Amino acid sequence: MKDDNTPTAPKRITAKNMTEKEFFYGHKACAGCGGSVAVRLALKVTGEKTFAAFPAGCMAAVGFIYPQMAFRNNAIITTFPGVASMASGISVGAKALGLKGYKTVAFAGDGGTADIGLQALSGMIDRGDDVMYICYDNEAYMNTGIQKSGLTPYGTHTTTTPAGKNFPGSKTQKKNLFEIIAAHDIAYAATASIGYPQDYINKVNKAKQVKGPSFIHVFASCPTGWGSPTHTSIELAKEVVDTGLFFLAEYENGSFKLNKNPKAFKDIPTYLQKQGRFKHLKEEDYKLIEEHRDMKWERMRRNWKHS
Amino acid sequence: MGELRLMKGNEAIAEAAIRYGVDGYFGYPITPQSEVIETLMARKPWEETGMVVVQAESEVAAANMLYGGAACGKKVMTSSSSPGVSLKLEAISYIAGAELPALVVNVVRGGPGLGTIQPAQSDYFQAVKGGGHGDYHLIVFAPNSVQEMADFVEDTYELAIKYRNPAMILSDGIIGQMMEKVELKDFKPRFTDAEIKEKFGSWATTGKTPDRERNIVTSLELQSELQEKHNHKLQAKYQQMRETEVRFESTNTEDAEYLLVAYGSSSRICRKAMELARDKGIKVGLLRPITLFPFPTKQLAELANQVKGMLSVEMSAGQMVEDIRLAVNGKVPVEHFGRYGGIIHSPDEIVNALEKQIIKG
């Protein structure tokens, strides 16, 4: 939002210097849950002095059930549309109390961010509230049983976009969430994937330095909702970037930058066929998905900084 | 005899909506009612009857889509569960103020707040006292079986049309999730544009023709005298509902010395409790309000001349009991026995409560 809020490059976090401490541990997420990986890694960066806010969703359901409270830091469940607003409240509350060295982090899924939570998020950024917002994107409403969201990609079978003979499942493309957020002239926004954890945690670390709103859109696999083997979660989150169906990028100082610009993309059908939710897709669907990817990358490569 | 099926309550309500000729459904996921929209999406009624099914981006959006569809004279419905219904209330109040027929389904879960996804009856006040802002009432039906989930789509909508007033089916997580045999009604065609003009032409925004004045759909009237007049009209409507639309079911009330009062899931548990009490020689009757608004006030007042006491059995901290007390007006003791937070009563504990709170009390 304001240029003086732009983060300076902090010391790089690696597997060697990352804390052994756990802040989200002992929860009852499904095996292979990408969302819980995203939360666990982010909290390792933001640390004990984190006020974490979660709307009603998977992480609320798996992390807050007494006596299995899985958080070692302060954390709270918010209303579904209100996570960004509550984080704003926590952040100004901490300021009023004179608390130093704390970070307020809002974590929400794709539905809670791109659909019902978008208004609150927009207001939070517009006011310049000191909150880091992390959207873990598993591409559907998983907690309520796999319904389509605004970030569900074309061709996904969900319970509200059931695939059929003449119906490819979800017919819309993913909302352009990252650019919607960047359009607020936010100090720092980034996309990431749990398949590239080093990239992700360092983006969290960068966002931590921002005095004001920051935003990270992290791709997070969901074996339960995707019909994929639980051990492939990290692999799929890597492959989605390598196929160009997701991208790693940053927005700071008013400009976009691609962090990873593959010379050749990996095969899209190979990635899709590993997941039950895409099993029904036909040649023409693959073609459509590929065309949309190429169009997007042509535009990103033309307008954004890249290597 | 109609088609027989084994269905969940949530599935039955979706199927009944298609068969009744609903024009549009607007929904948003929330447990324990997501099967309503899921069933509709899987059934693809747009291919069969032309019914529109939309997944909105929030409950607020879904409820306002309902307002839009209703204003056009279309048969429209939405469904949700407790926290989601709270979000819909502003639009529902507008719909009531603008006097439009529409159907809202609440498959209640325990609260307050995020509460639980288990069944409860703790949204009674919200449903029958208005819920949103302003002086208004919904027509509220409480099904106690999967069959009634299906049947009440038509029953509530016919009244919604008759009174130009939004209606609600107040269900709960048990009825929504459990499977039972259902007899489905035959398909009714959706109203054609000509039928909508003929039936709702006096108020629906169907496109102005030179032969009539504009139809205005609004809940706004800044001139206090006119707003008061509008409210008088609404109140007269609610009064007429109270006089003519009350539905209830009474069992063993003829010789009853004690009365259980319960609706929805609780009424089924009370039926068993009543049997257990009668086996013990206690003459217990059961009154089940089917409409919660309008409430069977008169019937309860009459029974108060006969029985020695009443026990309201609700999966809540005691909401309907207040309306029973108003009806009985102090004639006999009226007590409440509730389980909540997702817990349901056992028949035995209801009998115990009756003995402890009413008979010995």
Residue range B257-286, pLDDT digits in tens? 999 999 999 999 999 999 999 999 999 999
Q: Which residue of B has its CA nearest to A79?
A: B114
Domain identity same for B180 and B256: no
Amino acid letter for position B124:
Y
Q: How far is CA A61 from CA A27, A68, A108, in A?
A: 9, 11, 12
> What number of residues does chain A have?
307
From CA B276, how far away is CA A82, in angstroms rounded?
A: 48
**Whether residues B34 and B170 fall in one domain:** yes
Cβ atoms < 10 Å from Cβ of A167: 15
Domain match, B282 and B175 both: no
B72 and B169 inside one domain: yes
Q: How far is B30 from chain A (nearest CA, A)?
A: 6
Note whether B44 and B172 are same-domain residues: yes
Q: Do B83 and A150 touch (CB under 8 A)?
A: no
Which chain B residue has its CA at the smallest distance from A163's CA? B42
Q: Which two tokens stand for residue B79?
A: 């469904």
Residue of A147, A150, A161 lying closest to B34 (CB–CB)? A147
Token pair recorded at residue B343: 């817990």
Residue type, B36: V
User: Which of B28, B33, B60, B117 to mutate to test binding with chain A, by most A CBs within 10 Å of its CB?
Assistant: B28
Residue B194 lies in a domain: no
| Residue B58 at interface with chain A, using a CB cutoff of 8 Å | yes
Answer whether A180 touches B (CB < 8 Å). Answer: no
| Domain boundaries defined on chain A | 22-303
Give the minimum alpha-carbon distance from B166 to chain A in angstroms, rounded to a whole number.
25
Contacts of A77 in chain B (CB under 8 A): 114
Together in a domain, B174 and B258: no
The residue among B184, B202, B231 that closes a domain is B184
Burial of B256 (0-12, 13-18, 19+ CB in 10 A): buried
- Whether residue B230 lies inside any domain: the answer is no
Q: Which of B29, B44, B87 lies nearest to residue A147, judging by beta carbons?
A: B29
User: Any chain B CB within 8 A of the CB of A174?
Assistant: no
DSSP bridge partners of B313: B337
Domain at B142, CATH number: 3.40.50.970
pLDDT in tens, B108-165: 999 999 999 999 999 999 999 999 999 999 999 999 999 999 999 999 999 999 999 9
Burial class (CB in 10 A: 0-12, 13-18, 19+), B233: exposed
B31 chain-A contacts, CB cut-off 8 A: 143-145
Q: What is the pLDDT of residue A2?
A: 43
pLDDT reported for residue A307 = 85
Q: Chain B, 110-139: which have a CB under 8 Å from a chain A CB?
A: 114
Task: Give the per-residue pLDDT at A68.
Answer: 79
Between CA A36 and CA A220 the distance in angstroms is 9
Q: How far is CA B45 from CA B8, B15, B225, in A?
A: 18, 9, 46
Q: Best interface-test mutation with A: which of B52, B89, B107, B114 has the largest number of A CBs within 10 A?
A: B114
In degrees rounded to 5, what are phi and psi of residue B32? -105, 50
* CATH number, residue B259: 3.40.50.920
Rounded-to-integer distance, Cα B72 and Cα A259, Å? 50
Given a contact cutoff of 8 angstroms between Cβ atoms, the answer to whether A131 and A102 are in contact is no
In a domain, B212, yes or no: no
- Going by C-alpha positions, the residue among B200, B25, B41 that lies closest to residue B105 is B25
> Is B161 a domain residue?
yes
The total number of residues shown for chain B amounts to: 361
pLDDT per residue as tens digits for the range A295-305:
999 999 999 99
Q: Which domain holds residue B342?
A: 249-359
pTM of the predicted model as reported, rounded to 2 decimal places? 0.95
Domain boundary, last residue among B184, B205, B227: B184
Looking at the structure, tell me whether residues B32 and B146 fall in a common domain.
yes
From the CA of A254, how many Å to the nearest CA of chain B? 29
β-pairing, B3-8 vs B179-184, is antiparallel
Alpha-carbon distances of A22 from A36, A135, A222, A230, rounded to whole Å: 12, 20, 22, 22
pLDDT at A206: 97
B45 and B180 share one domain: yes
Q: Do B44 and A164 touch (CB under 8 A)?
A: yes
**Burial of residue A97, with CB atoms counted within 10 A of its CB: 0-12 exposed, 13-18 middle, 19 or more buried:** exposed
CB contact under 8 A, A159 and B87: no
Determine the 3-state secondary structure of B334 from DSSP.
strand
User: Could you tell me if B276 and B152 lie in one domain?
Assistant: no
Q: Which bin fits B79, alpha (ψ -120 to 50), beta or left (φ > 0)? A: beta
CATH superfamily of A22-303: Thiamin diphosphate (ThDP)-binding fold, Pyr/PP domains (3.40.50.970)
**Tens of pLDDT along chain A (307 residues)?**
444 566 676 789 998 899 999 999 999 999 999 999 999 999 999 999 999 999 999 999 999 987 878 999 999 999 999 999 999 999 999 999 999 999 999 999 999 999 999 999 999 999 999 999 999 999 999 999 999 999 999 999 999 999 988 889 999 999 999 999 999 999 999 999 999 999 999 999 999 999 999 999 999 999 999 999 999 999 999 999 999 999 999 999 999 999 999 999 999 999 999 999 999 999 999 999 999 999 999 999 999 999 8
Chain A contacts of B42, Cβ < 8 Å? 159, 162
Decide if A33 touches B, using CB distance below 8 A.
no
Distance from CA of B323 to the nearest CA of A (A): 31
Is B149 domain-assigned?
yes
Asked if B132 and B55 sit in the same domain, the reply is yes
Structural domains in chain B (count): 2
Last residue of a domain, one of B157, B184, B211: B184
B342 in reach of chain A (CB within 8 A): no
Distance of CA B194 to the CA centre of its chain: 30
Residue B160: inside a domain = yes
Backbone angles phi, psi at A217, to 5 degrees: -105, 105
DSSP-based three-state secondary structure for A251: strand
Taking CA atoms, what residue in A is nearest to B37?
A160
